[in-house]
Each structure stands twice: as C-alpha cells, then as structure tokens.
Copies of this chain bind each other. A is one copy, B any other.
Amino acid sequence: MDAKPVLTPELARRIVGWRRDFHRRPETGWTEFWTTARLAGILGDMGLAPRLGAEILDKSSRMGLPSEDVLSRVLVEAARPLGDLAGARAEFLSRMDGATGLCVDLAPDKAPGVVLRCDIDALPVRESRKPSHRPVREGFRSLREGAMHACGHDGHMAMALGAVQLVLDQIAQGRAKLTRSVRLLFQPAEEGVRGALSLVPLVRGWPCLLAGHIGLALPETGAFAAGVSGAFATAKFNVAFRGREAHAAQAPEEGADALKGACEAVLALHALPRHSRGEGRVCVGRLEGGSGRNVVPGFARFEAEVRGRPQEVCDFLFARAKAAVEGIALANGLDASVELAGQAGSAESDGELSARLARIAEGLSWDGRPVFGRVLEQARVSVSEDACTLMREVQQGGGHASYMLFGSDLAAGHHAPDFDFDEAVLAKGALMLASAVLDLAGSRDSRL
C-alpha cells in the first residue's frame, strides 16, 4: 500500500491540454464562470460530484466584487463557445447562481484529512503577441483580449486535476486507500487577495491544508520548496473622497477640493511610521480625480495597500491609514470612505509539515530520475498570498498548513505580458501533490 503514484505519458499530455484550455479562456477574479464549469466537467467525468459557486459560499461575503455589469457580461459570454472551446453548460451556470469557485471531496464519508487549495483566476493583462512568446508560437494565446493567465493559475488547476486523477488511479488499482477525506478547493479571486475569506467555512476544523505556487521565488525547473516564511499580511483598500465642485476662477472658495485631499492622503500614507516589530509596505498604486482642468475637483479615489510581517505591522499601518484619511477629510471639508478590497493574513508554513513534505519530495522519482533536483524545507518570500487566510484558519484550529513552491524556468516575471512557465513543472507538481495527499490522508499517523 505504499507504492508511489505513476504518471503515464497520456495523463501528462492531458494535464498540459487542460492547462492550455484554461490559458485560452482566462477569466479575472469573481468572473471565472467558464473556468468553474470546465473544472466541474472534468471532475464530473472523473466520477466526482463537485459543488459550485453559490453552493459553497455566501455570495455576500465576496470582497472586491466587480460591478453587476461586468459580472453579467462575462456570465453571458461564458455560455457561448469561443474558438473550439464549448461554452459553459447551462446546468453548471444555473447551480453557480452568479458565484464562482468549486469544492469537491474524495472519501467524503471519512473524517476530515487534507484540503488541497488551488486558485483559478486570471489577470487583466493583455497577453504578448510576440512570435517568441510560446502561447503565440504554439497557438494557445488568450482568446479573451485583455485577460491573461499571467500568474500560472492555469497551471495550478492542471496540476491539481492531474493529482486527483493520480490519486483516483492509485485507489482504483488498489495501490492506495484514503483513511481520511480529501477536499479539493478551487478558489476564485486570489489576485487582490479577495477570495479566500469567503471560503473560510470550508476549511474550518480541518487538520491539514496544502497550497502552492508555480515559479515563485524559485525560477528554475526542478527546484521545490516544501514551505515558505515571510509572507506579508496585507490589506487592500479603496479610498474615495467626495467634495464640492466649483468654478476654479469664479468661486474657488465654494469648492471642497477632493483631489487636493487625496494627494495629502497619499503623502500621509507613505509617511506612516516604521514599526519596531518588523517590516511594512505602503503603496498607492492608482489614483484618479477631478472632472476637468478648470473645475475644483469634486471627487478623487485611489487604490492602496499596506503590508506587514508579522501581522501586527499590517494591522498598525491599516489602522493609521484609516485615521489619516478621516482626519484629512475633516481638514478639507470632504467626505471620505475607506473600503476594504482584499485582505490576507500573514502565515508561516508549519515546520514539521514542511519537513514531511520535503522528505516526500526527495523520495519522488519518475522514469527512474528524481522529480526534483533541489529540495528546500523552507524558502523566504516577500509577497502576500490569499491562501494565508485559509492557512491561518487551519492553524488557529490546531491544524497544520504549508505553502509549497514548484520551481520553474520563467520567460518573464509573474504578471508580465510575456509571462510563461516551463510546462515540465506540471507533471512534477501533480506527482508531488498526489503523493502528499496519499501520504497525509492515507496515513494512520495520529496527528491527522
């Protein structure tokens, strides 16, 4: 019962195919209608019974939601074919009820074992048209102009699907069995750290959670880190100032200049104090305000984020940022709002779990060769990750969580129009995930 999962060339090809299908129909956060339906179709074909969208989450708990217009438009589009890709099945769209995301359990009658969490959204990036860009060269460039899987979530989904298939195959062949249940969680809206919060109930009380990422911090195929430390807690927020327009020459004193107030707030945010307990970050990444050159601006809004490690640094910065906005509004006779648009906690991978995963990784081979040439127990990252919200939930409930890095050569950095990873990572990742699931949920180890 200890045999390793075996990846056939045929399954390796299917994994790559899945990835390329997702790559061609990218959908940004909370609009992953076609994507969710496609996942449901594949998992259904494997004999599983996934739950979709509104079946798994409270729609009102979604942060940073696009406008109703955008949601409706993409929903309608998802039902239609695009190129040779069929539209989403009406049954799936109906069950989703406007919300995206998917959850499916293996051995659901068993006690909770392992959650495998995977993100599914794309980015609002216009994909490169350069002939040297492999998706162009090999014909799987995004068919939805202005959206792109530029962060590898297409690969994450393919790897997870491959892992499910491997686990099912092992069980079917009597080479493994699950003593605990395994939950596959396909999370929407990871970008902007908006989606995890609404899925917290789905991991509450579970003893173990795994998540991971392609390429991050390890830009070389064959490298693997079994856990990470240093992820920043973060709060993403939108600030809006509303004042009173007035003619800039005839009555400047009647105006309340929302843009001036916003500029003061931008500087105040950057000037927030440093913190003795750790590192922080402040960014105001986007601002617009005012309606015309000769009108005292009546509105201004900006998109900002703060980060901190540990958590308290982030909390400190966010609290001070809100106070700064409120005070500056008062100083300028403006109304102001601060709306949370995303949030992730800081979470460290558990050392014991990471060590166990590292041992598994070191033991993996395929075609007689080691799957990973270089295995780290922990790597240090400087990003924020929506998965941390789920990891903290599991950890605070007494469980363990780890965030893995699947190294890959990269054509360009994450989020760039030329981003592309080495598809060799997909098979490696699927093998690792399947092995980990079988180890953790097939084990009699009393810790799980």
Give residues in A with beta carbon < 8 Å to B: 192, 232, 234, 236, 248-253, 255, 257, 259-260, 262-264, 266-268, 270-271, 273-297, 300, 303-305, 307, 316, 320, 323-333, 341, 382-384
Contacts and interface: CB of A to CB of B under 8 A. Distances in A.
A296 to B, nearest CB: 6
A321 to B, nearest CB: 10
18 contacts: A248-B281, A249-B382, A249-B384, A252-B274, A252-B275, A252-B276, A252-B283, A260-B271, A263-B263, A274-B279, A274-B282, A285-B293, A286-B292, A286-B297, A287-B289, A294-B305, A324-B332, A327-B327
A258 to B, nearest CB: 11
A365 to B, nearest CB: 33
Nearest to A254: B276
Contacts of A253: 273-277, 316
Nearest to A257: B273
Contacts of A316: 253
Contacts of A300: 287
Given A249-B384, A267-B267, A327-B331, A285 B275 contact: no
A2 to B, nearest CB: 40
Nearest to A307: B249
A285 B329 CA distance: 18
A274 B308 CA distance: 11
A266 B263 CA distance: 7
Nearest to A283: B248
A331 B328 contact: yes
Contact of A286 (B282, B286, B289): B289
Contacts of A275: 252-253
B295 A291 contact: no
A331 to B, nearest CB: 3
B273 A255 contact: yes
Contact of A273 (B250, B252, B259, B384): B252
B259 A284 contact: yes
Contact of A280 (B255, B263, B274, B324): B274
A191 to B, nearest CB: 9
A260 B286 contact: no
Contacts of A278: 279
- Looking at A249, A279, A283, A296, the one whose CB has the most chain B CB atoms below 10 A away is A283
A276 B381 CA distance: 10
A357 to B, nearest CB: 24
B267 A252 contact: no
Contact of A260 (B192, B267, B289, B341): B267
Given A257-B270, A290-B303, 10 more contacts: A249-B384, A252-B274, A260-B267, A279-B279, A285-B295, A285-B296, A287-B297, A293-B303, A293-B341, A327-B331
A292 B287 contact: no
A284 B271 contact: no
Contacts of A330: 323, 326-327, 330-331
Contacts of A270: 257, 260, 270-271, 273
Contacts of A263: 262-264, 266-267, 287
Contacts of A268: 264, 331
Nearest to A296: B283
Given A286-B292, A327-B330, A333-B323, A252 B281 contact: yes
Contact of A291 (B285, B297, B384): B285
Contacts of A297: 284-287
Nearest to A280: B274
A294 B285 contact: yes
Contacts of A283: 248-249, 252, 293-296
Nearest to A333: B323
Given A331-B323, A332-B327, A287 B259 contact: yes
A240 to B, nearest CB: 14
Q: 9 nearest interchain CB pairs?
A: A327-B331, A248-B283, A327-B330, A270-B271, A263-B263, A286-B290, A288-B288, A285-B293, A293-B303
